[in-house]
Homo-oligomer: A and B are copies of this chain.
């Protein structure tokens, strides 16, 4: 069994697991996203990669699929840049370095970072999540 078909099988299983029909487009995107180490992608960025591989998936479908994956808990959205939406295949507890200049994200393991001294949220509110973005520049 080839690597590509093994990736597909895993992708199909993963999609079924979250109740999404394994359509060609979803399987191809899931294979790309989850076959290797964690990655950070933008819709545009992923669409180009897909096109470069000779696969045909419309940009609209890439957007829709990324959101479906996000709602299904397969991806997480990261807000670091007003202009672009980033999606992260690492859905666990962690934070990010962000290189504005090149639009690159780098994970910081959740165990490494500690945030202390967060005041009590306003009355009637609960903390949903604490996001830390370490913006870095070329020295």
A binding-site residues for B, Cβ under 8 Å: 77, 79-82, 85, 97, 99-100, 106, 108, 112-119, 121-122, 124-139
Contact = CB atoms under 8 A, between A and B. Distances in A.
A122 B97 contact: yes
Given A79-B81, A99-B125, 13 more contacts: A97-B122, A106-B122, A113-B118, A115-B115, A118-B134, A121-B136, A124-B138, A125-B137, A125-B138, A126-B138, A128-B137, A130-B133, A131-B133
Q: Report copies per complex.
A: 2
A121 to B, nearest CB: 5
Contacts of A77: 82
A135 to B, nearest CB: 4
